[in-house]
Amino acid sequence: MTHRRLATVDAAVDAVLARIPGPIVLALPLGIGKPNPFVNRLYQRIKADPSRRLVIVTALSLEVPSGASELEQAFLGPIVERVFGGYPDLDYVKDVRARRLPAHIEVREFFLKTGDYLGNGPAQQHYISTNYTFAARDMLGHGVNLLAQAVASEGDGSPGWRLSLSSNPDVTHELKERAAAAGQAVLSVGCINRELPFMHGDAVVAPGFFDLLVDDPACSHTLFAPPNAKVSTTDHAIGLHASSLVKDGGTLQIGIGSLGDAIAHALMLRQHRNADYRRLLDALGATTGPEHTPFEHGLHGCSEMFVNGFLKLIEAGIVKRRVFGDLATQQAVNAGALDPATLPGGVLMTGGFFLGPTDFYAALRGLSPEARAAIRMDRIDRINQLDGPDPLDSALRRAQRREARFINTTMKVTLLGAAASDGLESGQVVSGVGGQYNFVAMAHALPDARSILALRACHDTADGPVSNIVWQYGHCTIPRHLRDIVITEYGVADLRGQTDAEVIRRLLRIADSRFQPQLLAAAQAHGKLPADWTLPEAWTRNTPEHLDAALHPHTAAGLLPGFPFGTDLTDDEIRIVAALRRLKKSLHHPVALVSAVVRSAWQGRTAPPAYLERLGLDEARGFKALLLKRLFAGNL
């Protein structure tokens, strides 16, 4: 294939507008695969010309954090400059969030940044509910005629010059293949970003893969790098329970965020500090899990999202089970007839896209050629499902994914085992289905796999704590007939194949005890539990206070750190964040608010001058500012 190489973003936009004279339907990869400078220039050109129409079809459009209040904005300023400096925000995201998108431009997303668009009418109305597995099919169904993607480059201009789709081979290949098969013309634009790690597998393409290739220095910019979230005591407890279900020699899928980090950290404790690991399980009251010994054979990582935790598990020698691209070889390895250590090649980790903190990207860029070759970036239609058009390839996927544990997070679980992970009862979308449904379905389709849904037992609201295990919910992502394993900080509920009554009992066992009586009463009122059944006394100690007391000695000993894989925040910033969270919570609870003010005044608490200066409270004037200053000091 041939391509036209352009030196500027403006030249690329001119070429696109000339080649597509009518409406443009632009497909963009999710996450960091978007070529932001090109997208912004195209968006602004069409925004200024109402005679042209633009539809953007994508997912996970990222935006630099700005803070909801003046305090948060003041605090975030230096962090944004330090971590996100040089990252160009997407102009269309700003306009969608501000509800000022022009009438001739529309943005349709199949996965939203979690919680960011609740109450945003245009974003909610143009959300596409689809499984990640079907994203390429559905994007094409919207009439896509332009594809744009950021790419990495290796050997510029040389005879062996190659490009890499880097973070996002996920839907690009399939979209182009489907378009070609349907005779649908799609102009493709690649924009070289030299900050992107050059990844292998399906990510590697020839320059001719794109019709237009943009090599403008403006396209090389800082990658969006969300700092590691703090891992709470609740998260650590869930991670410990989950880690005891992961089978040596098996396959692992986890997601991003504090729960993913907690699981990875627990697996590392199991491997390298096994005696401490068992003591932690004992402290949780967990019967020693079926899988609690160190890993001899190791794990293979297979996840739509290649997260920082997976790289840490590779470095720790836990993700070390290699899989091979030939079915006969893989079957012989599985049977023990071939020693994988004697075979060339092999892949430790298979991922569809990646997203992570700054040191994660730096580590990927610094991989040795051997380590890089062992990480395969693959297509979502191969990662998120077992069967494809080639029966041999389908058989290979099954052979590679032995003893799989697919671990995903969810927001709500009903007492009958259905789970809601992407939206509210009102229909408001929190995030998206992503690949969760497909991983759950795979767990049932593979003979030795399990689906594990991780759930925090309750969450705080302005009206107080609310149970995340409920009698019923007006929306579900995972139907009850696919119920399998559910984990909260209070234990593991194995629901597969159980009667409704037993499912309810097992979920009550891991529910927050403050809500168990109401849940039990609802189940009995609907005839799903015997009227004379009562909660065993041992089940009634599921409280945050009991959990904190059980794990506090181990936290104090350094076994359960808040940031097991480090953080972009300084120690002072971590302390300020904690105080701001407590302050924000107290603003919703009058009693706590008054208590904080009284405590601060009575004890004569003051905040360090540098903290007050950081928040713009060093020269506080007026009642509101002085109150915030006092509250902040009281919450430190």
SS (H, E, C) 472-528: CCCCCCECHHHCCEEEECCEEEECCCCCHHHHHHHHHHCCCCCCHHHHHHHHHHCCC
Asked whether residue 78 carries a pLDDT value surpassing 90, the answer given is no
pLDDT at 72: 82
Instruction: Choose the weakest-confidence range: 109-113, 163-167, 341-345, 610-614.
Output: 610-614
Q: Which residues of 81-109 are buried (b: 16+ CB within 10 A; e: fewer)?
A: eebbeebbbbbbbebbbeeebeeebbbbb
d(CA 312, CA 511): 31
Instruction: Read off the amino acid at residue 90.
Output: L
Asked whether residue 429 carries a pLDDT value surpassing 80, the answer given is yes
Burial tier of 184 (Cβ tally within 10 Å: 0-12, 13-18, 19+)? middle
d(CA 435, CA 352): 11
> 363: part of which helix (H) or strand (E)?
helix 358-365
Q: Report all structural domains of the chain as residue ranges with CATH numbers, in order of start.
A: 4-219 (3.40.1080.10), 233-544 (3.40.1080.20), 571-635 (no CATH)
Q: Provide mean pLDDT across the span 355-364.
A: 96
CA dihedral over 517, 523, 526, 528, signed as positive or negative: negative
Kindly indicate the confidence band of residue 628, based on its pLDDT and cuts at 50, 70 and 90.
confident
d(CA 144, CA 27): 6
Among 330, 318, 238, smallest CA distance to 286 is for 238
Instruction: Choose the weakest-confidence range: 104-108, 160-164, 492-496, 615-619.
Output: 615-619
Name the residue with higher pLDDT: 110 or 571.
Answer: 110
Q: What percent of the chain has pLDDT over 90?
A: 82
Among 327, 347, 330, smallest CA distance to 391 is for 327
Q: Provide mean pLDDT across the span 583-590.
A: 66
pLDDT at 633: 78
pLDDT at 586: 65
Ramachandran assignment for 409, one of left (phi > 0), alpha (psi -120 to 50 degrees), beta (any other): beta
pTM: 0.94
The DSSP call for residue 244 is: T
Q: Tell me the DSSP string of 378-415.
A: --HHHHS-S--S-HHHHHHHHHHSTTEEEEEE-SEEET
**Three-state SS for 251?**
strand
- Residues 128-186 have pLDDT tens digits of 999 999 999 999 999 999 999 999 999 887 788 999 999 999 999 999 999 999 999 99
- The tokens describing 627, both together, are 């109150």
**Three-state SS for 142?**
coil
Residue 164 CA, distance from chain mean position: 22
- Residues 493-544 have pLDDT tens digits of 999 999 999 999 999 999 999 999 999 999 999 999 999 999 999 999 999 9
Beta strands in 307-448 (DSSP E): 349-354, 375-377, 404-409, 412-414, 419-420
pLDDT at 278: 95
Let me know the angle formed at the C-alpha of 520 by 519 and 524, rounded to the nearest 5 degrees: 120
Instruction: Choose the weakest-confidence range: 163-177, 425-439, 596-610.
Output: 596-610
Q: Provide mean pLDDT across the span 435-454.
A: 97
The torsion angle over the Cα atoms of residues 256, 259, 264 and 270, rounded to 10 degrees, is -170
- Residues 6-34 have pLDDT tens digits of 999 999 999 999 999 999 999 999 999 99
Kindly indicate the confidence band of residue 597, based on its pLDDT and cuts at 50, 70 and 90.
low
The DSSP call for residue 447 is: T
Name the residue with higher pLDDT: 190 or 288.
Answer: 190
Average pLDDT, the chain: 93
- Residues 215-266 have pLDDT tens digits of 999 999 999 999 999 999 999 999 999 999 999 999 999 988 999 999 999 9
Kindly indicate the confidence band of residue 75, based on its pLDDT and cuts at 50, 70 and 90.
confident
